[in-house]
Amino acid sequence: MNVANREIKAANGVKIPQVGFGVYKLIKEEDFENAVGEAIRNGYRHFDTAKIYGNEKKLGMEIQKSKIPREEFFITSKVWNTDLGYEATKKAFKRTCENLNVEYIDMYLIHFAAPCYLEAWRAMEDLYSEGKIKVIGVANFEIQHLEELMKHSKIAPMVNQIETHPEFPQNDLHDYLIKHKILHAAWAPLGQGNKDLLKNKVLEEIANDHEKTVAQVILRWHTQRGIIIIPKSSNPKRIKENIQLFDFELSSEEMGKVNQLNKGKRYSHNPSGYMVNPLYNKLMKIFLK
């Protein structure tokens, strides 16, 4: 493990690199090769993909090309909504392993709380028990989704990957995750690169005091909250900067200033919409009989 990164333990003791590299929307072969290759050279070993991203095969090829042993990488992927269900999820998992050319996945997540996610979770519990997944978890789950899942599961989710950034810190959900020993992972940790956020005067002042960039200050704020972060970039300079986070520390006062930027502002959809879907409720009643 590269000394520039840190690890955070899941409830089962598995260590997860706290800074990962996201490959969402990295589709073009040349862009993908350049970005992932640069990330590997800069010490990233945690890579986050998903079936719906359409680049699992490309990621597998870049990992093999690196000549770095498989066990040094921590690979995350996710099962998509249309593959939820016991047998469907098992098939989707097998395809993901084939795409990545691996025999196990370090972390496998349910992408959304869409219909049949309870059946999908049973499949993931079985795959976990078979040693094919090291960490099982979810993404975009709200508290009500987590409550429903834990009510009907043998193994509690170990991770919840959700939209999180200074303007949407997810405070209530964050506290809930801590209480239930579920790790908080952040996608869009930089607010999807929102220009207003990256030019915020408060953040610029903190960044200047530490001789760091605003992005580094935001990412450091996440890590000091105990959050796993999945920044993404195709810019070599930013790729390098995004993992250089552990040679400085924000004071409690600085953390407080960043906390005050909370606007309750999502840059993406509200995942709780799945819970009011009539088809979802109908399918759930059938499954729970």
pLDDT in tens, 134-190: 999 999 999 999 999 999 999 999 999 999 999 999 999 999 999 999 999 999 999
What is the average per-residue pLDDT within 197-201?
A: 96
Look at the chain and report how many structural domains it folds into. Answer: 1
- What local confidence, expressed as pLDDT, does residue 282 receive? 47
Buried/exposed code over 48-81 (b: 16+ C-beta within 10 A; e: otherwise): bbbbbbebbebbbbbbeeeeeeeeebbbbbbbbb
- Whether the predicted pLDDT of 122 surpasses 50: yes
Q: Are 76 and 45 in contact (CB under 8 A)?
A: no
Is 180 domain-assigned?
A: yes
Is 2 domain-assigned?
A: no
Helix ranges (DSSP H) in 29-184: 29-41, 56-65, 86-100, 117-129, 143-151, 171-179
Is 71 domain-assigned?
A: yes
**Cross-strand partners of 60:** none
Ligand-binding site membership of 46 (annotated): no
DSSP 8-state assignment for residue 8 = E
The one-letter code for the residue type at 41 is R
CATH code for position 30: 3.20.20.100
Is 202 domain-assigned?
A: yes
Q: Are 190 and 199 in contact (CB under 8 A)?
A: no
Q: How confident is the model at residue 274 (pLDDT cuts 50, 70, 90)?
A: low
- What local confidence, expressed as pLDDT, does residue 276 receive? 41
- Whether the predicted pLDDT of 3 surpasses 60: no
Is 1 domain-assigned?
A: no
Range of the domain at 17: 7-288
Q: What is the pTM of this model?
A: 0.92
Q: Is 130 exposed, middle or buried (0-12, 13-18, 19+ CB in 10 A)?
A: exposed
- What local confidence, expressed as pLDDT, does residue 273 receive? 63
- What local confidence, expressed as pLDDT, does residue 2 receive? 44
What is the average per-residue pLDDT within 31-60?
A: 97
Q: How confident is the model at residue 1 (pLDDT cuts 50, 70, 90)?
A: very low
| Chain mean pLDDT for the chain | 93
- Whether the predicted pLDDT of 86 surpasses 50: yes
- Complete DSSP assignment for 187-255: ESTTGGG-HHHHT-HHHHHHHHHHT--HHHHHHHHHHHTT-EEE---S-HHHHHHTT--SS----HHHH
Enumerate the active-site residues: 53
Is 236 domain-assigned?
A: yes
Q: How confident is the model at residue 94 (pLDDT cuts 50, 70, 90)?
A: very high
